[in-house]
Each structure stands twice: as C-alpha cells, then as structure tokens.
Amino acid sequence: MFLLFLSLTQVLAGKIYSQSARISLNLKNSTIKEVLYQIETRSDYYFLFNSKLVDVNRKIDIEVTDEQIQQVLERLFEGQHVEFAIMDRQIVIQPAPDTARTVQQQSAVSGKVTDSAGAPLPGVTVMIKGTTLGTVTSADGAYVLTKMPDNAILVFSFVGMKTQEIPVALRNEIDVTMDEDAIGIEEVVAIGYGRMKKSDLTGSVSSADLEALKGTPNVNLLQGLQGTMPGLNVGMVDEAGENPSITVRGRSTISGNQSPLIILDGIVYYGNLSSINPNDIESFDILKDASSKAIYGAQAANGVILITTKRGGSEETPVVTYNASYSTGSPYKRLHSRDRESYLKMVRDIFWNEAYSEESGYTALNENYNIETSAPFTDASIVKGYNEGADTDWWDLGTTEATIMTQNIGIRGMTQRVNYFMSFGYDKQVNYIINDKFNRKTARVNLETQVTNWLKMGIQSFGAFSDYSGESPDLIKLAQAGPLRMPYDNDGNLVILGGDFTNPLIGLHNNDLDKRNELFGNFYAKISNISFLPGFSWDINYGNTLQWVKQFNSNRYAQAETGEVKKYNNSMYSYTFDNILSYVKTLDKHRIDATLVIGQTEREYENTTARSNDLANQTLGYNDLGQGKNQFVLSDSWEESSSYQMFRLNYSYRSKYLLTGTIRRDGFSGFAQNEKTAYFPSFAFGWIASEESFLNRSEWLDLLKLRASYGVNGNLVTRYSSLATVASSAAYVFGDGGTSAYGQEPSNLPNSNLRWERTRGVNFALDFGVLNNRVTGNVEYYRTTTKDLIWKKALPELTGFKEIIDNIGEIANRGIEITLNTTPVQHRDFRWDLTFAYAKNKNRIVHLLGDVDGDGKEDDLLSSNLFIGQPISAVYHYDVQGVYQIGDNIPDGFYAGSYKIVDHTGEGALSAADRTLLGMADPSYRFSIHNSFRYKGFSLKVFLNSVQAGKRGYLANNDPFAAYTPQFISQKGLYEEVDFWTPSNPNAEFRSPSGTSSINPNVYQKRSFVRLQDVVLSYDFSSNLLSKIRMQALRLYVSGKNLHTWTKWGGWDPETGSGLGYDGRPVLKYFTVGIELTLK
C-alpha cells in the first residue's frame, strides 16, 4: 500500500522586509515551489505553507518586471483558491477560507460497509463520483480509498441495495449501512449497444446472478445457469467440453435456426461458448421480449444473450484473484450391461418360441433347444467367447472415474491512464467414458487507455485453446458388445473381433488429435466529453474472431486393417464493425437517451479433409498421408455478410414514465434476391407506479413498476438456401480400367422470394418489492406470433425433391415467467434467502398451408408432423396399449409379444391412419428453487431444478429396440433394465424383441424430473485474520452437483432424453472442493 500520510511543512526563515519591495522574474516551466524559492533568494521574503494543502508542484511560466510581491503572488496563484497573508517579510500561503474544507487534499478515506442487519457486505462498489476511480469492499466489508480529489463524493453501490452518495467532507473514516432495495432495481444491465439502469428498463431483460454460481464445477458458464433464469432453457450436458443447448422462451420457428444470438462485449459472437472462461465474465444478460430484442432485428427472434467480460480495475493497487477446484464424478444413475448368465437368458427370451417348450406355454425350457443354433452364434467372436467362458464387462473397460480440475488466475488494476484486466485459466476435464476428455487454456487481456480526455481506446481480447484429443470407445458399441465377446486375446493383444462387429476399444489405440482454437479481439474507441457537443458519444467497435479446428486421426484397424489416416482442418473468420452514436440529455424532468448504430459483419469459412487408407507404412500415422494407396481430398467453404442500421430512443419523464422506441433495418446475404432487406420496429412503455404520490406513502410497498412492450424480430435463413444448387461428384466409371466420370444433379429447389421469419410479440410485466423489500419479484407475460416460417415444406418425392424451403404459416407462443425473491430470515449472523423461479411456455401452430383440400378447415401437415392448434413438438403416433399375448386374436403382421396398437379408425386393420395425438415433447413448465443460507463466514446454497411434463407434455421415445431385428438385438444384448415381454413375463414394460411387426411403434414416456442440482457449502475467512497475511479474501468450499434426480423416466437421464437404447449416455454427479482467494 502506498499510503502517504506524511505532510511536509516547509518553513523558510528570513528577515523583515518592506512590502513595497519590487521583484523581477523570468521563469519558464517551473514549479511554484521553485518560483517561491527564487523569490526568497532575490528578496527577503520567506514563505510559510503546507505543501499538502497548497499545490506547489504546479508548473507555470512567469515573467514579471519590477512588480510588488502582492501582484506577483496573485499572478502565481491565479485561479487557485489560495490566500496569502504578508506579515512583514513572512508570507503565509493557505487555502482560501470559503473553500478551505474542500481544497484540502485528503490522504485517504477508509471505512466499513454493512447491511441493515449489521453484517459486513463484501463486494460493494465504492466509486469517487465523476471519476473511474474506486474500489470494492473486502470480505469483511472494509474499503480504503486514496488520493481523493477535491469535493469528493463517494458512491456506494451494490446489487440489491440502494445506491448511496456520501460527500467525504474531510472525513477520514466513513462507515455506511446499505439499505435493501428491490432486488436488482439499481443494477445496471446490458441492453445491447449500451447499458441502462434496471429501474429505467421498459423491456424484459434478465441478468444472471453470477455470484450464486460460484463453487460449482462448470467449465461452461451456461451449465451453471441451467434453471436459474426463467425463460432461459439450458440443456443438460453429458460429454466433456460440450456446449449445452440453449433456447430463450418458446420455440418460434419450425425448422429455422433456434439458437439465441450471442453478443460478446458488444460483438456478435459466432464462436464456441465453451471457449469463454467463466471466470472472465462480468455479466450475463438476456433480452427476452420482442421490444428489447428488436435492436438486433433479423437475428433476434430466438432471444439475445449479452455477455460482458471484466474490465480493467479502478485502483492502482492490483487485485489478484486465484480460483481452483477439483471435482470427481460418476454417473448418478447407472444402467447395467448383462453378464453372461443374464445374456444367455436374454437370447432364450428373444427366441422364446424355440427356446421354451410349446407344451409349457413357452414358460419351461425346451429340452431340444440348442442355443448354439440361435442368431448370436453366427458371429465367430461370440461363439469363441461362449466356448471359452467369456464374461466381459465392457462398460468397465470403457469407463473411468471422471474428474474436473479448474485453475484460474486474474489480475486487474490501473495505472495513470490505463486500466487492465488479465487472466489465465486452465481447465481439465476427464469424463466417465475413457478419452472423453477436454482441456482448455484461456488467456485474456482487456486494456483501456484514456488517450485524451475525450478519447478512450482499448482492446478486449482472448485466446482459447481447447483440446478434445483422444478417441473414446464407441459408446453405442460398448453397450452392444455383450459379455461373450472378448476384447483381448490370451496374449493380451487387442482383437478386432470381426464379423459385423468391431471391437469398440479400438478407438483407445488410435492416435487422435482434436484441437479447437479461437482468438477474439475487439478493438474499440470511444469519443465522449466533447466540449462543444455535451452528452454526445461515439463508439467504434471492430471485433474479430478467428477459429480454427484440427482433427486428425490414425486408425490402423480400419479399412480391413490396412489402416486409415485423416486430417481435417477448418477455419472461420468473422468481423463486426459497429459505429454507435449516442446522445444523452437531461432537461429538468425530461431525459432523452438516443442511440444510432450503423454496422456490418462478414464471415468466411473453409475446410479441407484429406484422408488416405491402405497404408504402406503406418509409423508416422496421420502425419504422412502420402503412405496411403487410396487418397481422398474434400473441401468446402462459404461466406456471408450482413449490414444493419438501428436507432433507439429512450425517454423518461420524472424518472417514472419511461418510453423506448427502436427501429432496425437489416440486410443479409442469405436472403433471397427479392427480399434482401427488412425493417424491425418496436416500442415499450414503463411506469413506476410506486413513485406516484398516491402510492409512495404506502408503508409496505417499496416498488411497483408496470411495463408493456411490442416489437418485431426476425430469424435468418441459412445461407444459400434460396438458391438452386447442383451437386457434383464422381459418380461412375465407364469401362474396365476407366477413369472417374463426374455426375451432376439438382440438389434443391430455388425460392427467390424466401424471406426471414417475422416474430411479433407483446410483453407485459410487473416488478414489485414489498415489506421493506424483504419480498421482491417480477411477473412477465408474453405472447408472440411468428409468421413466414422458414420451413422445408415436404414435397411429394414425385418431384425429385424431398422438400422446398419456403415461408409458410404462423405459430404462436405465450408464456408466463415468475421470479420471487424473499429473505425469510435476516439477523446479524444468520440470513436465509430464497429465490423461486417459474416459467411456462405454450406453443401452438396457428396456420400452415391453409385449407388446401377445400374442406373448410385448415389442413394439418401430417407428413411434417404439424397440426393446427397443436404445439410444434406434438407427438402424433400410435397409441400403444399393452402387448399381444399368446392366444390373442392377433392381426396380420403382428405377433405374440408385439405392441397392441389402439385401432382408432375402428377399421379392424391397423394402419398409419390409427396414429393419434399423444401429447408433446415440450415440457409444460419449469421451476427452480434457490436457497441460500449464511451464518457468519459460512454459507450454504441449495439449488433445486425441475422440468415438468404436466398432463401430456415432455414426451420422449424410450424404445430400446428401435427397428432392430431379433438377430441384431440378440447379438448386441440389452441393458439389464430393459424389461421385455416373454410368455413368462406377460406384463413387461416393452414388447418382445423377437419379431418386427408391420408397425413398430415408439414408446413415449414422460420425462418430468426434480433435480437437486447444486449444493455448495463455503466458508469465508474473516478479513482480520486475512489482513495479517496480506490477503483480502479467502473462501473454501465443497459442493455437489446433480446429487439426486427424482423421476419416473427409465433410462440414463430424463433431461437429455437418454433412455434404455444403445445410444444413451450417463449424466454425471460431481463432488468438488475449491478455493477462491484475493490478494491485494
């Protein structure tokens, strides 16, 4: 710490002198101290002053000839609040009396910030008003600020607390008690092309509570947000380094892009979210309603996610943070492969009509049955294992204990004109399946410099280097290998197995490289504080992303063991160039905030695949593709561009009537020739009713705010989709020993009028805070309709095409989102916070092609599974009611053990016409409960997340057999958990796999679940203790993730929809220990 408490008082002795003495001086670029010294040397005056109170280091030019000391001093201190008393030859210089208190340069202010219960509040931002200087309170609520300027006013702000402005007024110690405010109401949120106080919002913007995510092992930020923000639906992840799926509110497209638009530091981000180090993220906001999204126009319909990374610090003292955690994981639920005994029983059960005797009603073993004549025994490796007594547990061979290690170090601070934030992160994840690995190095540098008082320039940049190398055993094959196949021969060498089944462990012996790299740099400049244009600013952003991927593999077992090697390289470059002009003006009770954006983006992509097989020499693997007898090369590329302009006007009156209007114009290269550009307008209104005089006297009501908005958003079409394309490839070779002849054929139908999808929506919302803000919350209701759906309209294949991309129909979404925050208990040492979030979305198809068949009502589109009045995810399928038993009257094409399908047409025969609406794949509603308990340094967070099916929702197919033949199934085995029909197990859950009936319906099951997603116990050490070891904060924690899931879904996991089939993957449960420390 560089506290300078010393104040030097210079007292220069001298002799009595005449006031009328005259002085001549000619000094350039000299400090006042030097000038005073010169005067002293040339005269008898001497000066008395306090250098802490009077700025004597200021440099000046002075030229005086024969002037009185009074005049010289006036000139010397011109414009300074300084007075001087000339007493004989002694001159005392001191601050002028009217400003005496504020002119004083204070050394430092320190203090402690507590909440209304007296508990210390860490993380409170303390800023010197009007500057970028400030600090953040430590774990015990303490802060220290140095180098206070004149008239300093400190601004204390903290999420959920009322911001306070306190003049320092010469004090050296200021303790502050923060009062609770409606949660987040003073929070500043990103709204796209700018930021806004949450209280001024008119649209629907949610901010993630990133603090609450700490202590859970998430290598990807989104994973941590799962279930925490109503309206944001994050999918479960079951592979290392995988990006979870994300959607915002309901689905407003049938076949168009469903992913939200991601804006990273103001730039449209096309990169991979798993490249972003979660520790670098300062804020995460989602624009949910049509009006706030409208500023992103044609790309906004699926929601907009704004991610802002940490900026440089505001103190000269660098703040260093270090976080590390270690987790171990295993499936929270395991399915079991059959052992030898169980497998052989399964084979008999599949071929029950041979393996069991007819006389016994197929319940007793048939004495004459020889299992060796059954289908599995056509596979030599199964026969071998059978004879040699094999009982292999392939899952054991292909899986391991999962671990996650994360480490991150960050440093932020500022020097005179430059502030900086730098971080380095290293994460290493080893998943349950061997070689399902991920490690990532990220490095970030965010720098900003104040070039002049009207110009700031900076860069936000990061590099992310992810390594997914290593080939996992094919999980499906692991599930299909069965206990009789043996992976290694007696000498311990890997066997290929052969037949139609390759050893799944081969992957472990392959050389595999998979590196995905990304560089991001946003270079920006901000022009503001222009003296002749007050309130005006101009931001220029030039964001660049470069991603490149290398995927190389050598497999010596492939291609009939002649070996195969390949290299796949791709790269994508994109840039965004934005000009953002804004103007803020406050006039009495009116405030205007206008923003104009003009920008453009371009993206370019290319890839090359080189592959060769039948290798003469495999020593160098994929590094010598030239060894292959057969060599193949493929390449691909694309490019796209867009340009856009946007204007937004925010107006507020008395800070309680709020109005926002925006208009955006978008042009995108992927639009069809006749429809290149589009306009997207919106407006919104907000009213803070609690500020009205008739409400603001209420004792219990702290906040009541009403919002309403309307807007139009678009959804882009995929590039090139409107063009008539022709596919060309080597198609034939004429004659023996001929050469490749290339063929060409049209590959899709053109549509020169293809337009963007257009979503219109309204949003009504209520924000409230009552009982001294002990209970706060928010209710949002929205309705949207999307027209001109981009859709692959199924065509009769008579046309030679499966489909045409067209704009059709209309779908509607409506939903409600509720967030409720309460603090049931609030004492000095103990505090309990409870957050409840609920979201429900209902989706409905309003129109499709219209009434094509002329029967007076809109037609469904059976071939695309779309039904008027039903959700997009409607499940239209056969209605299964049990299984045919032996002796039942079984229709043609069905067998004992086949599913009994309800004959809805009543025709007696079963056909496609007997399908019916079973429900939908979308859930009915989602909710989550977040509990946070704090007792002294301890805090405990418990997070429950749930997705609920309701009456007919959240269906997924859990058919373990699909259309596989009995031969296939009997060779591949089934999980122990698959309960299938046999004559002695007539009430089984699933049909018999012993035959394939003419109709093999899927098995739809509900996926409702409640998950104990996160439990985090942490301890913050007291700052008294820490200060002794020069530490600012230290937290230790243990946590558990996915600790328990309550569900009726049979299979690996309801949320991923992983069922009992071969392709299921487990979801892992993790236990984590971690540390977070801050040095200063």
Partner 1 sequence: MKKTLKIYICIALFLSSCDEASFLEENPSSIYTSENMYKTMEHFESALTQLYGGYRKLYYSGNDNEYDFFWGTDLVHAGQANVVRFFSDYPATLDPTAAKVLYHWKGNYKIIANANTILSRLANSELTEDEKQVVAAEAKFFRALAYKYLVFLYGGVPLVLEEVTSSKTDFVRNTKDEVLRQMVSDLEFAAANLPDISSVVDGKVSNVAANHLLAEVALALGENDLAISSSTSVIDNPAMALVTERFGSRVNEPGDLYWDLFQRGNQNRSSGNKEAIFVIQFELDILGGGQSSTTRTGYFMERFHAPNTPLATDPWDRTVLAGMLQTSGTGRGAGWLMPTFHFSNLIWHGTDDRIDYNDIRVSEYNFPRGILYNNPNGPAKYQGVYFDINTAENQYCLTTQGIWSRGVYPYQTKCTTPNDHPASLISNTETMALRSEAGVTYADWYDMRLAETYLLRAEAYLMKGNLPDAVTDINTVRDRSGASLITASDVTIDLILDERMRELGIEEKRRLTLSRLGKMYERTIKYNRYNAPNIREHHQLFPIPQNEIDANVSAILEQNLGYN
Query: Smallest gap, in angstroms, from Cβ of residue 482 to partner 1?
Result: 16
Which residues 177-206 are close enough to bind partner 1 by CB under 8 A? none
And the tokens for 631? 């060599």
Per CB under 8 A, the list member of 272, 544, 965, 985 interacting with partner 1 is 965
Residue with tokens 């203090």: 111
Cβ closest to partner 1, residue 179 vs residue 745: 745
Query: Smallest gap, in angstroms, from Cβ of residue 544 to partner 1?
Result: 11
Q: Please give the Cα distance from 616 to 128 (Å, whole number).
A: 72
Q: How many residues contact partner 1, by CB under 8 A?
A: 108
Pair type for strands 402-414 and 830-847:
unpaired
Per CB under 8 A, the list member of 744, 824, 904, 1048 interacting with partner 1 is 744
Per CB under 8 A, the list member of 670, 871, 983, 1054 interacting with partner 1 is 670
Cβ closest to partner 1, residue 175 vs residue 907: 907
Per CB under 8 A, the segment of 139-147, 245-253, 628-636, 779-787 that binds partner 1 is 628-636
Cβ closest to partner 1, residue 774 vs residue 847: 847
Residue with tokens 């060779």: 971
SS3 for 1031-1076 is EEEEEEEEEEEEEEEEECCCCCECCCCECCCCCCCCCEEEEEEEEE
Q: Please give the Cα distance from 850 to 856 (Å, whole number).
A: 10
Q: Please give the Cα distance from 90 to 48 (Å, whole number).
A: 7
Task: Mark 999-1038 with x for binding to partner 1 (rule: CB under 8 A) and - for no binding.
Answer: x---------------------------------------
Which residues have CB under 8 Å from 208's CB, separation 6+? 225, 228, 229, 283, 284, 285, 286
Which residues 282-341 are close enough to bind partner 1 by CB under 8 A? none
Q: Does 498 bind partner 1 (CB under 8 A)?
A: yes
Give the Cβ contact number of residue 881 at 10 Å. 9
Query: Smallest gap, in angstroms, from Cβ of residue 248 to partner 1?
Result: 27
Cβ closest to partner 1, residue 708 vs residue 794: 794
Q: Which residues, listed in sequence order, are joined to residue 684 by a DSSP beta bridge?
A: 660, 709
Cβ closest to partner 1, residue 70 vs residue 911: 911
Q: Please give the Cα distance from 1007 to 924 (Å, whole number).
A: 11
And the tokens for 871? 């959700």
Handedness of CA 618, 623, 624, 626 (dihedral sign): positive
Q: Does 544 bind partner 1 (CB under 8 A)?
A: no
Query: Smallest gap, in angstroms, from Cβ of residue 1066 to partner 1?
Result: 30
Angle between helices 69-76 and 32-42 (to 10 degrees): 170
Per CB under 8 A, the segment of 61-69, 121-129, 635-643, 880-888 that binds partner 1 is 635-643
Q: Does 724 bind partner 1 (CB under 8 A)?
A: yes
Q: Please give the Cα distance from 887 to 680 (Å, whole number).
A: 65
Which residues 374-413 are close enough to bind partner 1 by CB under 8 A? 375, 377-378, 380, 383
Query: Smallest gap, in angstroms, from Cβ of residue 572 to partner 1?
Result: 13
Per CB under 8 A, the list member of 416, 912, 951, 1028 interacting with partner 1 is 912
Contact 323, 143 (CB under 8 A): no
Cβ closest to partner 1, residue 283 vs residue 967: 967
Query: Smallest gap, in angstroms, from Cβ of residue 712 to partner 1?
Result: 20
Which residues 563-582 are close enough to bind partner 1 by CB under 8 A? 564, 575, 577, 579
Query: Smallest gap, in angstroms, from Cβ of residue 493 to partner 1?
Result: 16
Phi-psi region of 113 (alpha: psi -120 to 50; beta: other; left: phi over 0): beta
Q: Does 732 bind partner 1 (CB under 8 A)?
A: yes
Phi, psi of 746 (to 5 degrees): -65, 135
Cβ closest to partner 1, residue 645 vs residue 946: 645
Per CB under 8 A, the segment of 318-326, 587-595, 667-675, 927-935 that binds partner 1 is 667-675
Question: CA-based Rg of the chain, rounded to a whole angstrom?
Answer: 36
**H helical segments located in 117-226:** 221-225
Contact 198, 188 (CB under 8 A): yes
Q: Please give the Cα distance from 908 to 134 (Å, whole number).
A: 80
Q: Please give the Cα distance from 1078 to 500 (Å, whole number).
A: 58
Q: Does 5 bind partner 1 (CB under 8 A)?
A: no
From the list 534, 650, 522, 675, the residue with the least C-alpha distance to 596 is 650
From the list 1074, 884, 907, the residue with the least C-alpha distance to 995 is 884
Q: Does 738 bind partner 1 (CB under 8 A)?
A: yes
And the tokens for 460? 């936000």
Per CB under 8 A, the list member of 318, 681, 750, 986 interacting with partner 1 is 750
Query: Smallest gap, in angstroms, from Cβ of residue 754 to partner 1?
Result: 11
Per CB under 8 A, the list member of 329, 966, 1061, 1074 interacting with partner 1 is 966
Which residues 590-619 are close enough to bind partner 1 by CB under 8 A? 598, 600, 613-614
Which residues 758-787 are close enough to bind partner 1 by CB under 8 A? none
And the tokens for 215? 């202590």
Pair type for strands 246-248 and 261-264:
unpaired
Residue with tokens 């008579």: 798
Per CB under 8 A, the segment of 149-157, 292-300, 855-863, 1036-1044 that binds partner 1 is 855-863
Give me the count of residues in the chain.
Answer: 1080
Q: Does 499 bind partner 1 (CB under 8 A)?
A: yes
Q: Does 373 bind partner 1 (CB under 8 A)?
A: yes
Which residues 421-480 are close enough to bind partner 1 by CB under 8 A? none
How far, CA to CA in Å, does 568 sit from each of 273, 414, 609? 22, 43, 4
Amino acid, single-letter form, for residue 806: D
Per CB under 8 A, the segment of 357-365, 859-867, 1012-1020, 1043-1051 that binds partner 1 is 859-867
Q: Does 637 bind partner 1 (CB under 8 A)?
A: yes
Per CB under 8 A, the list member of 63, 74, 98, 372 interacting with partner 1 is 372
Q: Does 733 bind partner 1 (CB under 8 A)?
A: yes
Query: Smallest gap, in angstroms, from Cβ of residue 558 to partner 1?
Result: 8
Q: Please give the Cα distance from 67 to 866 (Å, whole number).
A: 96
From the list 376, 380, 207, 331, the residue with the least C-alpha distance to 977 is 331
Query: Smallest gap, in angstroms, from Cβ of residue 721 to partner 1?
Result: 10
Between CA 366 and CA 372, with CA 370 as vertex, the angle to 5 degrees is 150
Per CB under 8 A, the list member of 81, 195, 719, 792 interacting with partner 1 is 719
Query: Smallest gap, in angstroms, from Cβ of residue 797 to partner 1?
Result: 4
Per CB under 8 A, the list member of 731, 771, 825, 1025 interacting with partner 1 is 731
Q: Does 740 bind partner 1 (CB under 8 A)?
A: yes
Q: What is the three-class DSSP state of 869? A: coil
Per CB under 8 A, the segment of 6-14, 425-433, 736-744, 1072-1080 that binds partner 1 is 736-744
Which residues 789-818 are close enough to bind partner 1 by CB under 8 A? 793-802, 804, 806
Per CB under 8 A, the list member of 465, 557, 583, 638 interacting with partner 1 is 638
Contact 521, 461 (CB under 8 A): yes
Per CB under 8 A, the list member of 503, 627, 997, 1039 interacting with partner 1 is 997
